[in-house]
Amino acid sequence: MQGLLTALYAGSLMTIFLLAACSSPFTTYSRYMSEGQRYWKLKEYEQARKAFLMAYEAEKGVVPLAWAASASYWLNDLTGAETYIRQAEPGARTSVCYFRVTGYKALLLLRQGKKDEGLVVLKEYARAYGITYPSRNLPLIDLMINKGDADIQKLEAMLEEDIYAYEQEIEQFNRTGTGYFDKRGS
C-alpha cells in the first residue's frame, strides 16, 4: 500500500510539473497583459510597461507594444514611446489598438515640438475614430486641429478617455457579443 501511495504522489507531482512547464505562450501573454492593465489603472506606469513588455516577449504583437508605448509616454520616456509606436505601427491598422497607437503618436509628436506632423496624425485619428465609434470629444479635437493649436493636457485626457471607451466596448463585444458593435451589424 505504501508503494502505491508513493507512486500516486510521484505521479501527481510529475503531472503538476508537466502542466506548469506546458503553460502556453498565450497564457503567459494574457497574465502579463492583465497585470499591466492593473498597474495602468493604478498609474504605476513603470510596472505596467514591464508587464506589457513581458507579454510582448510571450507573444509578439501590436497590443502589448501599444500599451508599452502609452506607459512610456506617461513616464516621459518619449524615446521609448517612439520606439514602441514605430514597432507597433505596421500592424496597428487592423488591431484593436489602432487608436492607442495613432493617438499616442499624435501626442508624442506634439510633445516633441513637431506640431505640423502631430496635427496631421491627430486629424487621421479623429477621422478614423469618428467613423468607428461615437465621441463627445471629437468636436473639441477638431477645433484644436482647425486652429492649429493643441492644448496637450486637455488632448491627453480626451484621447485617453476615447481610447479607453473604444477598447472597453471592443472587449465587451468580444466577450459577450453585445454592445455598440453588435448594433452596427443590424
CA distances from 135 to 44, 57, 166, 174 (A): 27, 34, 9, 21
pLDDT score recorded for residue 182: 85
CA distances from 176 to 94, 172, 179 (A): 21, 6, 8
Half-sphere exposure of 54 (CA within 13 A, CB side): 16
Say yes or no to pLDDT of 113 above 70. yes
Taking only the tens place, the pLDDT of each residue in 37-59 is: 999 999 999 999 999 999 999 99
Per-residue DSSP letter, 59: S
Domains of the chain: 24-175 (1.25.40.10)
Taking only the tens place, the pLDDT of each residue in 55-109 is: 999 999 999 999 999 999 999 999 999 999 999 999 999 999 999 999 999 999 9
- What's the predicted TM-score (pTM) here? 0.84
Task: State phi, psi for 113 to the nearest 5 degrees.
Answer: 85, 10
